[in-house]
Amino acid sequence: MTLKDKVIITVAPTGLAANRSQCPAIPYTPDEIAEEAYRSYLAGASVVHIHAREDDGTPTQKIEAYKAIKEKIQAKCDMVINFSTGTVGIPKEERIDHITLLKPELGALNMGSMNYAIYSSKRKQFIFDHVFENSFGTIEFFLRHMVEAGVKPELECFDCGHINNATPFIDMGILKPPLQYSFIMGVLGGIAATKDNLAHQARQIDKSSTWEVIGISLEQWPMVQAALELGGNVRVGLEDNFYLEPGVMAKSNAELVEKAVRMTKAAGRDVASPAEARKILSLNSGIR
């Protein structure tokens, strides 16, 4: 089995929206996030995707919060650290500061604007309805700052058009393959979570680049299976899904990672270590 056949498992331990009234295992503080990252590392995750929070669970962009999370994770293990830029309602300059100052190895970036909603079929109504705006000018702003800081962009694509949105930045020379794409599937307003849709998205990117799938809620598991069969990588974690199976809530992020590892091995593939993940993702260096 070649290095590129190995599976990078990313864990997203906390996110922005979910809280402990929905899932008691969601970490808030830097200590809690670092501990969940470490448990996930021991279970088989090599990359951790970070949103910072206040101690009460409120999302925050404070540099000191991201700094504490990064340092506490690095004191425990050598995971690849990925900071989000997805916070809404604040200026773009504040959404990039933690990346340019702290220089994680990866920086997540939504590759376009979209409707983002949650609909309750039981209530016959929308329970969340938001327009997330990321113009081409905003995307260019983030990409230029990431590249200048030596941070590899993780291109988060909620639909096929978002994949194509990378094209002008490749033409401008800001983005240079191999790139890293994340296909987020199952968000209302984005692409539906089906294997056919995932296969179509995977065919859109150049052969030198890498991709992972992010399935939302219980769609996570069929999408993990599809990605394993199609040669991709996977992301799991309480940011995206609380459940190991219908009605069985995970007690930690590590439990979700453990299931992804079992599925990886059942598919005849091996799990990548952090060092192997860095090579597969063509990252510039080791821990920073």
What is the rounded distance in angstroms from the CA atom of residue 50 to the CA atom of residue 68? Answer: 12
R_g (Cα) of the chain, nearest Å: 17
pLDDT tens sequence for the chain (288 residues): 788 789 999 999 999 888 999 999 999 999 999 999 999 999 999 999 999 999 999 999 999 999 999 999 999 999 999 999 977 778 888 889 999 999 999 999 999 999 988 888 889 999 888 888 899 999 999 999 999 999 999 999 999 999 999 999 999 999 999 999 999 999 999 999 999 999 999 999 999 999 999 999 999 999 999 999 999 999 999 999 999 999 999 999 999 999 999 999 999 999 999 999 999 999 976 555
Where in the chain are the domains?
3-280
Give one DSSP letter per residue of the chain, joined into a string: --GGGSBPEEE----SS--TTT-TT---SHHHHHHHHHHHHHHT--EEEE--B-TTS-B---HHHHHHHHHHHHHH--PEEEE-----SS-HHHHHHHHHHH--SEEEEE-S-EEEEEEETTTTEEEEEEEE---HHHHHHHHHHHHHHTPEEEEEESSHHHHHTTHHHHHTTSS-SS-EEEEEES-BTB----HHHHHHHHTTS-TT-EEEEEE-GGGHHHHHHHHHHHT-EEEESTTT--EEETTEE-SSHHHHHHHHHHHHHHTT--BPPHHHHHHHTT-SSS--
Calpha distance 1→4 (Å, rounded): 8
Instruction: Could you please state the CATH topology (level 3) that the domain comprising 3-280 is classified under.
Output: TIM Barrel (3.20.20)
